[in-house]
Amino acid sequence: MQYRTLGRTGVQVSSLALGTMNFGSFGSTTEAETTAMVRRALDAGVNLIDTADAYSGGVSEELVGRALKGVDRDEVVLATKFRLPLGDISRLGEMKGPAVMNRQGGSRRWIVKAVEDSLRRLDTDRIDLYQMHRPDPTTDIEESLSALTDLQRAGKILYIGTSTFSAAEMVEAQWVSERRRLARFATEQPPYSILVRGIEADVLPTARKYGMGVLTWSPLASGFLSGKYRPGGAVEQSYRDRLAAGRPMPPATADDARKREAAEQLYTLAEENGMSLVEMSLAFVTGHPAVTSALIGPRTMEQLDAQLACGDRVLSGELLDRIDEIVAPGRTIRPADAHAVNPALEPASRRR
């Protein structure tokens, strides 16, 4: 396992980090499985564990907290997030009303409560990295940074970060921190994979300019780079099972077809170079000079072991050139995979 400095914090973290969105009801991972995977990751040299209050309505944090019982707390860099509606992430579309409206966001009112709840669920006296899960266009970033600064000074959180911010939002936050003498975001956590390369054009250069650590998520592009989307793979079999049960899947879009085609070409390229597609995909992400760690999000021990085995691979310049021929630098094949919504493009903000 390789270790790198997390931005300018001086903290050393592993090049692969354990993401925990699948822990709990969302990924159907049990407590026993969670504990076993956390311990396996730690034994393999992973020292950064990332969760969020929104994962399975807080259950992921509880499972992580219990899994770390008996582990030297100083050996683990523990990260969590706030901002998204606090509830079962699989049911967010059904959740409405004031109860949800005020249990999310970047307001001081919510941040102060959210951090206390996360500390309780994680059963810890501090959060090493506390991240804003998405931008909050309804709240002035100074409001959020002011509350986070107070929590940092109180010792409840040590460093602060963002997730899925645009380059412009990252720059604005840095300027506010400097001008108002507030804590500065030390990290950004964007989606990044061979199929989702949009951040190479602006987010990654901005992170390097401001000395921010980068913790990328979805390095396997939500499974498209795991091999399960290949002809005859798990997804195709699931599709056949649904058809047999009279429950057809939604039709694939043109972008989906392009992603499948690119993934198939990448699979062949990886085989030609004596490695698995998973190994090549993880090495691609961790090999970018702006990336500190890649978050892996296993649902099973088998998935975890397969990804941990890829920690030390370095891709040659020639192989990187071949990858660029399949997916050009800075390109995201399916724009929705960037998970970043520009408020200026929302219907209410358009001219029509």
Q: What is the pTM of this model?
A: 0.91
320 and 41 Cβ atoms separated by less than 8 Å: no
pLDDT of amino acid 308: 96
120 and 112 Cβ atoms separated by less than 8 Å: no
Domains of the chain, by residue range, sit at 3-223+281-345
Q: How many CB atoms lie within 10 A of CB 108?
A: 15
pLDDT of amino acid 247: 52
CB burial of residue 18 (10 Å; 0-12, 13-18, 19+): buried
CB within 8 Å of 351: residues ≥ 6 apart? none
Using the structure block, give the residue that is written with the tokens 């409206």: 101
Alpha carbons 121 and 314: distance in angstroms, whole number: 38
End-to-end CA, the chain:
52
Using the structure block, give the residue that is written with the tokens 């102060």: 112
Q: Quick one: tokens of 83?
A: 């901002």
pLDDT of amino acid 239: 41
Alpha carbons 74 and 72: distance in angstroms, whole number: 5
CB within 8 Å of 136: residues ≥ 6 apart? 83, 105, 106, 107, 144
- Write the DSSP assignment of 68-101 as a string of letters: TTTS-GGG-EEEEEE-S-SS-GGGGGG--SHHHH
230 and 264 Cβ atoms separated by less than 8 Å: yes
The CATH class that applies to domain 3-223+281-345 reads: alpha beta
CB within 8 Å of 207: residues ≥ 6 apart? 170, 188, 213, 214, 290
Using CA atoms, how far residue 103 sits from 54, 133, 162, in Å, is: 10, 13, 18
Classified as helix, coil or strand, 158 is strand
Which residue type sits at 287?
A: G
Which residue type sits at 62?
A: E
pLDDT tens digit sequence for 17-41 = 999 999 998 888 899 999 999 999 9
The residue ranges of the chain whose pLDDT is under 50 are 88-90, 92, 236-245
CB within 8 Å of 80: residues ≥ 6 apart? 50, 51, 52, 53, 61, 118, 122, 127, 129, 130, 131
Which residues are catalytically annotated?
55
pLDDT of amino acid 197: 98
Q: Quick one: tokens of 79?
A: 């990260």
Which residue type sits at 308?
A: L
Classified as helix, coil or strand, 157 is strand
